[in-house]
Amino acid sequence: MNTRFDFARYEPFWQRRWEETGAYRVATDAPRPFMVVPMFPYPSGKLHVGHVRNYTISDVQARYWRRRGYSVMQPIGWDAFGLPAEEAAIKTGVHPEEHTRWNIAEMTAQLNELGMSYDWSRAVTACDEGYYRWTQWLFIQLYKQGLAYKGRAPVNWCPACQTALANEQVVGGPAPTQAEPGVETGHCERCGSKVVARDLEQWFFRITAFADDLLEGLDGLDRWPEQVRTQQRHWIGKREDGTWHLRDWLVSRQRYWGAPIPMINCPTCGTVPVPEADLPVRLPRQVDFTPKGEPPLASAPEFVGTVCPQCGAPARREVETMDTFVDSAWYLYRFVSPHDDTRPFDPEAAARWLPVDIYVGGAEHAILHLMYVRFICRALRQMGWLPFTEPAQRLFTLGMVYRNGAKMSKSKGNGVTQDEMVRRYGADTLRLWTMFMAPPGQPVEWATAGIEGCHRFLKRIFALAGAPGRPAPADEAERMRHRTIKKVTEAIEGFRYNTGISALMEFLAEVERHPWRAGVETLVALISPFAPHAAEEIWHRWGRKGSIDQAAWPVWDEGMTAAAEVEIPVQVGGRVRGTVSLPAGASQVEAEAAVAADEHLSAAVTGRTVRVYVPGRIISYQ
């Protein structure tokens, strides 16, 4: 085969091919369902290398379990409502919808350029009508169950801007939940004015109704990080201490870019839910974003004015929208039937695919998002929609990428873009490097010092793949092959990818010494989750059928994983006094232990120290 490492040609080629053949689409009734989900991103625009690391961590799992014979669903979507698009609209005049759609298109293209094995046919977008009508449906069900109610609560209010502010828009001061009306809660991020607490009538979800169960359920989540469980325990608190920390979830936002709260206020009947047949309550396109003392939706009269579904009298719609955490509290279920327009999701399919097998996301979601997902799971179970109480069996929280000491982000201006790295080194090198630079669960400071090494690593694999197969070498090389399969497999399952990749690098050096067929094939098979384009390209150049993704993951023989034993002479004072049998690579401590365990030799070496130890050759005492 030709051994050209022309990644700039074959990476886009395989991305197109995978898309055209629907390589990562999975049928809802596929056998052995297995669901790997990266927390769906906020569409912020260009990806930086911190994103690359996040999404590669999940994709390695998806590709690995697929090769283990499971029907892997790795869905993706967009947490597409929220404040940044609305802020941008106020500043630039670009409508939040346009801003968001443009960012989604940009990020979709970029994720594809990394070779992510998503089932794009299942993508969900929180700001699509076909999605948020079910977010509104959920609100109404919670209301009917007594789990949504209206109450008074303080918000941050900027008198100069005439608007309520989110906590992240207030600089300094206590959270408004702790403040009496009129008390200063900090300064406005936009204009610098003093921000005060102001009481408003708002909607809450009664998460405290499940407090005991949310607390007890943590004990069963033994495949969630202990740190997350501890944080959740503290957040919920204990009833005996009187100090429920857990408060009901305030879901009203005085914002435009969110799902409208599907409630109507009638002068006679009071608060009435929108009939389900009338959903969605559409977000009007034309509103005035500039704050004038009321939420932006109040500026759209054709939105506000309606009739009461109970008495038919003129009535007003709620003009607030829902916290975006509501969108992400139920999205996992939508993936099983994303196009169903008769119900939020297919409950039978949800029971087959969920709880999610592996859920991957940032540790910053340890409390709020995960608490809300657990709450909604319980509420849906109570309503008969789900047969389980916890949404994910295994949770992996990944470490952030830092640069110059700060978390890498677009807003901080310290992002290293994916584009420049992919152009220079290719997607596989970037994937490999971000997985190799540190254990996936730990934070890491971005550095490019090792990326060249990862690039050369792939180049050397191409060179080897074209080398004529030699006969199988000495026993020890085959043993190393088995050990490498075991190490890489365990490293992937344990999210210790960096140790798996370093085992592959050591193994590469061994295969280069005598490129035997099984050695080369194993190497290519084991890099496939990390460097999928390279593995697929070599597979194809070898003339193999189908995709390497469909080939079985290599297996090891446990008996072959131990190093071969060798006999070495034991010298005492210059004379050979006997031999011991040791693994070829045994350490000096192990060698001394073997000598001490020999009845005859142990007496001979008593009181002596080791002068020379050459593994596999000799141990010599003074």
Contacts with Zn ion by CB under 5 A lie at 158, 160-161, 188, 190-191, 193, 266, 268-269, 308, 310-311
Alpha helices in 114-249 (DSSP H): 129-144, 211-220, 226-236
HSE of 620, CA atoms in CB hemisphere, 13 A:
10
Which residue's CB is nearer to Zn ion, number 158 or number 568? 158
Q: What is the nearest approach in angstroms of Zn ion to the Cβ of residue 159?
A: 8
Q: How far is the CB of 492 from Zn ion (least distance, A)?
A: 50
Smallest separation, CB 268 to Zn ion (Å): 5
| In the complex, least distance from residue 168 CB atom to Zn ion, rounded to whole angstroms | 14
Report which secondary-structure segment, H or E, holds 73: strand 71-73
Q: How far is the CB of 192 from Zn ion (least distance, A)?
A: 7
Closest CA to 164 of 189, 198, 192, 202: 198
For residue 253, give the 3-state DSSP assignment: strand
Cβ–Cβ < 8 Å for 97, 285: yes
Cβ proximity to Zn ion: between 194 and 239 the closer is 194
Biggest alpha carbon–alpha carbon distance for the chain: 109
What are the backbone angles phi and psi of residue 498, rounded to the nearest 5°? -60, -40
Smallest distance from the beta carbon of 274 to Zn ion, in angstroms?
13
Judged by CB, which is closer to Zn ion: 188, or 380?
Answer: 188
Q: How far is the CB of 23 from Zn ion (least distance, A)?
A: 50
With beta carbons less than 8 A apart as the criterion, state whether 591 and 619 touch: yes
Helix (H, G, I), strand (E, B) or coil at 150: strand
Smallest distance, Zn ion to C-beta of residue 141, A: 21
Strands 252-253 and 321-322, how do they pair? antiparallel
DSSP, res 105 = H
* Closer residue to Zn ion in complex, CB, 68/316: 316
445 strand-pairing partners = 402
- H helix runs in 383-516, sequence order: 418-425, 427-436, 451-465, 475-493, 497-513
* Rounded-to-10 torsion of CA 60, 66, 71, 73: 20
Closest by CA position to 360, among listed 553, 495, 501:
495
User: Is the CB of 161 or the CB of 228 nearer to Zn ion?
Assistant: 161
Distances (CA, A) of 247 to 121, 237, 238, 301: 38, 10, 12, 34
Supply the minimum distance, in Å, between the C-beta of residue 85 and Zn ion. Answer: 19
Question: Is 240 buried (19+), middle (13-18) or exposed (0-12) by CB count in 10 A?
Answer: exposed
Among residues 108 and 310, whose Cβ is nearest to Zn ion? 310
Q: Which is nearer to Zn ion, 188 or 427 (CB)?
A: 188
Q: What backbone torsions phi and psi does residue 604 show, to the nearest 5 degrees?
A: -70, -30
CB of 187 to Zn ion, least distance (A): 8
Q: Tokens at residue 553, please?
A: 């993951």
First to last CA, the chain: 56
Minimum CB separation from Zn ion for residue 269, in Å? 3
- We find the least distance from the C-beta atom of residue 263 to Zn ion, in angstroms, to be 12
* DSSP type of residue 209: G
d(CA 37, CA 58): 7
- How far apart are the C-alpha atoms of 56 and 432, rounded to whole Å? 9
Residue 203: its H or E element: strand 194-205
Cβ-based nearer residue to Zn ion, 208 or 310: 310
Smallest gap from Cβ 294 to Zn ion, in A, equals: 15
CB of 203 to Zn ion, least distance (A): 19
Q: What are phi and psi of 34, to 5 degrees?
A: -150, 125
Least spacing, CB of residue 161 vs Zn ion, in Å:
3
- Nearest residue (CB) to Zn ion, 255 versus 431: 255
Q: Give the residue with the Cβ less far from Zn ion, 289 or 497.
A: 289
CA atoms of 51 and 133, how far apart (whole Å): 30
Closest to 137 (Cα-Cα) out of 21, 33, 278 = 278
- The residues, ordered by sequence, that sit 6+ positions from 607 with a Cβ below 8 Å of its Cβ are none
Smaller CB separation from Zn ion, 161 or 458: 161
Which CB sits closer to Zn ion, 160 or 505? 160
Q: Say which residue the tokens 């999610």 belong to.
A: 356
Q: How far is the CB of 309 from Zn ion (least distance, A)?
A: 8
Angle at the Cα of 66 from the Cα atoms of 64 and 71, rounded to 5 degrees? 150
Structure tokens at 51: 């994103």
Q: Residue 165 or residue 511: which is nearer to Zn ion going by CB?
A: 165
Nearer of residues 164 and 371 to Zn ion, judged by Cβ? 164
Name the pairing type of β-strands 565-572 and 618-621: parallel
Alpha-carbon distances, residue 91 vs 86, 87, 270 (angstroms):
9, 6, 37
Identity of the residue, 88 or 401, whose beta carbon is nearer to Zn ion in the bound complex: 88
What is d(CA 263, CA 150) in angstroms, rounded to the nearest whole number?
11
Compare residues 272 and 564 and give the one whose CB is closer to Zn ion.
Answer: 272
